[in-house]
Amino acid sequence: VRCTSAAEVADAIARLAVRGAPAIGLAAAYGLAVEARRGGDVHAAAELLASTRPTAVNLRWALDRATEQGTDAEALERFADGLARAQLEQDKAIARLGSELIAPGSRVLTHCNTGALATGGGGTALGVIVAAQPSHVWVDETRPLFQGARLTAWELQQEGLSFEVVPDASAAALMARGLVDAIVVGADRIAANGDTANKIGTYGVAVAAAHHGIPFYVAAPLSSVDPAAPDGAAIPIEERAEEEVLSALGVPVAPPGANARNLAFDVTPADLIAGIVCEAGVMRPPYGAAIARALAARPETGVLQDRDT
């Protein structure tokens, strides 16, 4: 997908041509650089880009850091390049740290897509899974848009890992049969207390995992943390078009005239999360203190400068 203006990037983000919290932050940063290059209004472009998807805080975080650089095209492009390099490094650290949580021979379940296609780097939760080399991966198909079946399955094929795509509704049944040893998912926004918004269906997986005593981990960079949101109730949840639920990839499944509710994300309470893996380490409950410490230790911009690489 070739974008030559911020409006085209905003459209690509809104229709999920690029999706996944870190990847949309990165795309938006490049969107500003492209807009500056064509002589457009960078601040208006930032507002347009920020309005596309409300839940992933990486989008707003990247736009705020980018506009701090000014409106010069070269400076904005340098910032976006630095962000891309930083995400690669962060993903590597997350994969290494998170893989230590997964015992050899584990069967791991994941939800949505958190691989390279979602970050621009090596992936967060899926990066952890690939680094851990589990014996099997259960891939939730991730209704209504099938990020699991379409993207995660493809990425696992490239990695040569053993996996099966499963309907979202079967995750609890797989746990009840003793077929799941650990769960790793990504995040769109982590509140200051550790409550975590992620793709709709994640919360149900976490509830079932708690019932079955299975560890449920979140893997995400610190740019997914929103210290201004005290808890999950403060996280805005995107609602998308009814048609995404009433049809499956364009094929109508519900009768004409049926209505649908399409919450794109849900919030998993911190007390259901065994650990949050970020580039600085594995945070454990109580998350409030651990998150505050990790944010305080983070470099000012969270973006690598040329001299850092």
Residues lying near ligand MRU in the complex (CB under 6 A) are found at: 16, 19-22, 56, 112, 114, 118-119, 124, 147, 186-188, 198-199, 264
C-alpha span between 35 and 40 (Å, rounded): 5
Identify which of 242, 303, 237, 299 has the alpha carbon closest to the alpha carbon of residue 268: 237
Within 10 Å of residue 166's Cβ, how many Cβ atoms?
18
Which SS3 state, helix, strand or coil, does residue 142 take?
Answer: coil
Q: Starting at the earlier edge strand, list the strands of the sheet with 189-191.
A: 225-226, 189-191, 196-199, 265-268
Please provide the DSSP assignment of 10-31 as one string.
HHHHHTTSS-SHHHHHHHHHHH
Structure tokens at 21: 């919290």
CB nearer ligand MRU, residue 16 or residue 295: 16
Residue facing ligand MRU at closest CB distance: 186
CB nearer ligand MRU, residue 161 or residue 220: 220
Residue 188 is a catalytic residue? yes
- Answer for the pair 137, 179: CB distance below 8 angstroms, yes or no: no
Nearest distance in Å: CB 158, ligand MRU: 17
**Active-site residue (options: 140, 168, 181, 188):** 188
Identify which of 189, 236, 20, 194 has the alpha carbon closest to the alpha carbon of residue 119: 20
Structure tokens at 91: 């993903």
Identify which of 180, 73, 65, 187 has the alpha carbon closest to the alpha carbon of residue 126: 187
Nearest distance in Å: CB 264, ligand MRU: 6
CB nearer ligand MRU, residue 67 or residue 114: 114
C-alpha span between 135 and 82 (Å, rounded): 35
Which SS3 state, helix, strand or coil, does residue 107 take?
Answer: strand
CB nearer ligand MRU, residue 19 or residue 65: 19
Structure tokens at 266: 């849900």
Nearest distance in Å: CB 16, ligand MRU: 6
Nearest distance in Å: CB 58, ligand MRU: 8
Place of tokens 């610190």: 222
- Quick one: how many helices (H) and strands (E) in the chain? 13, 13
Structure tokens at 244: 């995404």
CB nearer ligand MRU, residue 106 or residue 152: 152
CB nearer ligand MRU, residue 21 or residue 149: 21
Nearest distance in Å: CB 38, ligand MRU: 27
| Catalytic residue annotation | 188
